[in-house]
Amino acid sequence: MRLIMRKSKNIIISGGGTGGHVFPAIAIANALKLIDPECNILFVGALGKIEMEKVPAAGYKIVGLPVAGLQRKITFKNISFIYKLVKSLKISKQIIKDFKPDVVVGVGGYASGPVLFMANRKGIPTLIQEQNSYAGITNKILARKARKICVAYDGMDKYFPKNKIILTGNPVRQDLLNKMNNQNEAIGYFGLQNKQTILVIGGSLGARTINQSIIADLDKLGTADIQVLWQTGKYYHSNAVDANNNKGYKNIKVLDFISQMDLAYACADVIISRAGAGTISELCLVGKPVILVPSPNVAEDHQTKNAMALANKKAALLIKDIEAPEMLVKVALELVYDTEKKNELAKNISQMALHDSAKSIAEEVIKLIQE
């Protein structure tokens, strides 16, 4: 009897630039390994970006491209953009020739474009994972030849061919819901009391407007019968600590970074956050009342569009960045005391949650190979 050797699957995952792209990409890779431990996964990222550190730390190989973003105003930087793009396309072509992928997955970010473009030219199946409720121009172009497009929001057929779209949601950190129901442990972990809690988060680097709004109305928070768990991000931590120490408010806990987000979510009664795609996917799974303050400093204002997708379904409150200094703390204090409104928001945002997203996307990747 002749033995038939099964060929290992070769999969490229390309993209990155921010944690919102990188961590979902790693989650997809982990899900692929659970389905097929023998598959070979190669990441392709942008040199100097977060993926060049986080992907190897997760145990995967990565190759960097010199690609950069196109400036939206006329500038000499766009000359170097063209040079880097051409060079990245050439490197991508060589990567595909050497690695011989069965499928290429694009998760967004600078590196996603050149790799998927070259894969499409070679007739290699490609899959796009669009995280936002608004598709960027690169993914719109790549979608023309992509076999499948995994999305996190309804109504994406206004950007992509309907027959290619699969509603999977965005992959989130796997430990997110580990201790969501253990509020007593969460309170003890952060040294809090058993009272209404506002959780303020702005990502690992922080959100300037959110932090400035909290500092501006520190007295309102400090004198209210509530407590605040405030993640400032590393850039704003010292100013926040100084501001709170000057006031001496013991009900406001200031941290630069929260590693145990499952415990932070567990003790929260109201959450204040930016509106990145990955964060919103987490918040839907968490199912707590949320006030979203979209960052205006992102491509095509996609955070506002993400937030609107929830606000239109009464699944979150939306405060514009420019309105936050005057309105954010006022709205948060009103909400934390409004049980009926909190229950409505929690119910509606929970209904938007999509579970096991990384597994669903990984299964679609495997199907492409088998086809």
Virtual CA dihedral for 189, 195, 201, 207, nearest 10 degrees?
Answer: -130
CA-based nearest residue to 244, from 233, 232, 257:
232
- 226 and 250 share a domain? yes
pLDDT at 1: 34
Give the up-direction half-sphere exposure of residue 294: CA atoms within 13 A in the CB hemisphere: 22
Q: What number of other Cβ atoms are within 10 A of residue 7's Cβ?
A: 9
Distance CA 247, CA 55 (A): 42
- Position 17 confidence tier, pLDDT thresholds 50, 70, 90: confident
Whether 113 and 89 have beta carbons less than 8 Å apart is answered as no
Q: Is 156 in the same domain as 52?
A: yes
Chain centroid to CA 305: 14
- 223 pLDDT more than 80: yes
With a pLDDT cut of 70, the percent of the chain lying above it is 94
Residues 164 and 188 in one domain: no
Tell me which of 299 and 210 has the higher pLDDT.
Answer: 210
Model pTM? 0.84
Q: Are residues 28 and 48 in the same domain?
A: yes
Q: Can you give the CATH number for the domain in which 327 is found?
A: 3.40.50.2000
**Same structural domain for residues 277 and 204?**
yes
As beta bridge partners, residue 231 has 255
Give the three-state DSSP class for 335.
helix
Query: pLDDT tens-digit profile of 47-101?
Result: 999 999 999 999 999 999 998 765 555 555 667 778 889 999 999 999 999 999 9
4 within domain boundaries:
no
